[in-house]
Amino acid sequence: MGTEQSRRKMLKTMITGTAVLGASVAVPALAMEKETTTAPPKLKGNVNHSACRWCYDKIELDALCAAGKEMGLKAIDLVGPSEWPTLKKYGLYSSMCNGAEINLVDGFNDPAFHPKLIDNYTKMIPLVAAAGYKNLICFSGNRRGKDDETGLKNCVEGLKQLMPLAEKHGVVLVMELLNSKVNHKDYQCDHTAWGAELAKRLGSENFKLLYDIYHMQLDEGDVIRTIQTYHPYIAHYHTGGVPGRNEIDETQELYYPAIIKAILATGFKGYIAQEFIPKQKDALASLRKAITICDQ
Share of the chain above pLDDT 90, in %: 86
Q: Which domain holds residue 166?
A: 44-294
Q: What is the rounded CA–CA span in Å between residue 282 and residue 295?
A: 20
CATH number, domain of 236, equals 3.20.20.150
192 and 220 belong to one structural domain:
yes
Higher local confidence (pLDDT), 192 or 24: 192
Q: Exposure string (b/e) for 283-292, b if CB count within 10 Å is 16 or more?
A: bbebbbbbbe
Q: Exposed, middle or buried by CB within 10 Å (0-12, 13-18, 19+), for 294?
A: buried
pLDDT tens digit sequence for 130-152: 999 999 999 999 999 999 999 99
Residue 249: its H or E element: none
Residues 18 and 128 both lie in one domain: no
pLDDT band for 40, please (50, 70, 90 cuts): low
pLDDT at 46: 98
pLDDT value at residue 175: 99
Which residues face 175 on adjacent strands?
Answer: 138, 209
Alpha carbons 188 and 106: distance in angstroms, whole number = 11
Instruction: With 0.75 as the threshold, say if the pTM is over it.
Output: yes
Residue 119 and residue 207 share a domain: yes
Same structural domain for residues 84 and 231? yes
Residues 63 and 178 grouped into a single domain: yes
Say if residue 163 is in the same domain as residue 248.
yes
- 12 and 57, same domain (yes or no): no
pLDDT (tens digit per residue) in 232-258: 999 999 999 999 999 999 999 999 999
Strand 75-79 relative to strand 48-52, pairing: parallel
Query: pLDDT tens, 147-187?
Result: 999 999 999 999 999 999 999 999 999 999 999 999 999 99
Say how many domains are in the chain.
2
In DSSP terms, 48 is beta-bridged to 271
Kindly state whether residues 245 and 269 are assigned to the same domain: yes
Residues 28 and 151 in one domain: no
Q: Where are the beta strands (DSSP E) in 61-206?
A: 75-79, 93-97, 135-138, 172-176
Residues 51 and 143 grouped into a single domain? yes
pLDDT tens-digit series, residues 96-128: 999 999 999 999 999 999 999 999 999 999 999
